[in-house]
Structure formats: C-alpha cells, structure tokens
Structure 1
Amino acid sequence: MSTQTAELGSLEQQQTVQEAQQRNQLRNQINYYIADNGTLVGTATDIAHILLNELSGFVNKLSAAQDIDDVKASVTSLKATIGDIEGKVATGELTFPYQSKGLDTVKQEIIDRANGVNDLL
C-alpha cells in the first residue's frame, strides 16, 4: 500500500467517505431544488394526519359493519381521499423515492433507524 493510500485510510474507509459525500450532495440538491427540511417535515406530517384521520374513520365504520354492504361503505371516504394514488403509481404519473431506492433497502433503513433510536431510549 502506498503512503498516500495509507494516509487516506483503507479502500473501505475511502468508499464509505465517498458514499457519505454523495448522500450529502443529494440531500443538498433536494433541499435546494425540491424542499427544505421544514417543508419535507410539514408534508410528511400532512400525510400522517390524513392517513390517521382516514384510518380512524375506516376502523370505526368497519368495526360497526353488519354485512358486506357496510364493509364496502366503510372504505368510501378512504377511497375518495387516497384511492387515486395507486392508479397514478401504476401509470408512472407518480413515483415514490422508495421505489428508486428499493423496498428492501428502505425497510432495512427503517429497521436500523428504529432499533437505533430504541437502543438510545
């Protein structure tokens, strides 16, 4: 190994640093061109509130359902609110970052982050 390479660390360390730099560059582009962190948090919060409200209504209606017609009626509001999303994804009009990152990658990130936070708690 050359002296210059030894000073920079192992190839794995160099790759880790390069990946972190690329991730930070991408995050900066998102922040500059798409939305700042506050806007992203606001959008995520809006989504969570919509889903919480709609899911609550769905669960309450579904739990009171007496027959299949009641079951079908329980999804009316939920379908009206978010039912078009699936079609937009199917046509390519809407794409989510998790689709580009890969579902397995995103799920592992979720697991790692949840476990990390839980370990600190």
Structure 2
Amino acid sequence: MQRKRGHGAVIGALLLGAAGLAPAAGAASFDCTLPDLAPDEQVICNERDLNDADVRMVTTLDFLTGLFAMGRRGDIMDDQAKWLHERMACGADAECIRAAYARRQQQLQDIYDSIDRPL
C-alpha cells in the first residue's frame, strides 16, 4: 500500500490559484446580484469567508468530478445535492453555514485522499 501524503497541498495549491482568479464581487457559485436569493445565499454573499468557502468547495468539486467516470461522478453530485439541502436548512445562521462548508470540504478532501495513485 502506498503512503498518501501531501495530497492536501495539491488541493490547496489548486484552490489558492482559483481563489486568485475569482472576481471579488459575486465570486460565489451563484449570482449574488439576484433579488430573490435564499437566506443562506444572502449570508454567503455578505460574508467574505463564506463566499471564499463556496469558491473553494466548488473548485474542489469541479476538480474531483473531472477525475472520475460517470458512476462515481454521479454519486459525488448526488451527495452535493444532499449537502445543498443541508446548507439551505441553515437559513441565515452563518455559523451553521460555516460548519456545513467545513464538513463538505472535508468530505471532498477524503474523496481525493482515497484515490489510488502513485506519489
């Protein structure tokens, strides 16, 4: 069995690059200028750290889904849809939203770490 180390650095480097490319206004994965945003989306648009967490999560998700065939990719996207319902259930509770992003980012990191690949 191969040792898995430094994988977080790979994801981290990708995310730092993506964060640097993201426009400052409306960088979230949805349009923050829409008038009918859900309460969780309003909080994400107004809290820079949550906006950044959204960008990190979506960047990681896009990266991971590009690595897998349809079956596994579909499972990841099904999990994402479930997670979005969990985030929406937070309403305007910023701490709940932060915790939801932390959980999802860890889930995505775990998926990446589970990939069998050479170092």
TM over 0.5, yes or no? Answer: no
Answer 1 or 2: which has greater helix percent. Answer: 1
- TM-score, structure 1 as length reference: 0.29
**Which protein has the larger Cα radius of gyration, Structure 1 or Structure 2?**
1
Higher RCO (CA-CA < 8 Å; seq separation 6+)? 2
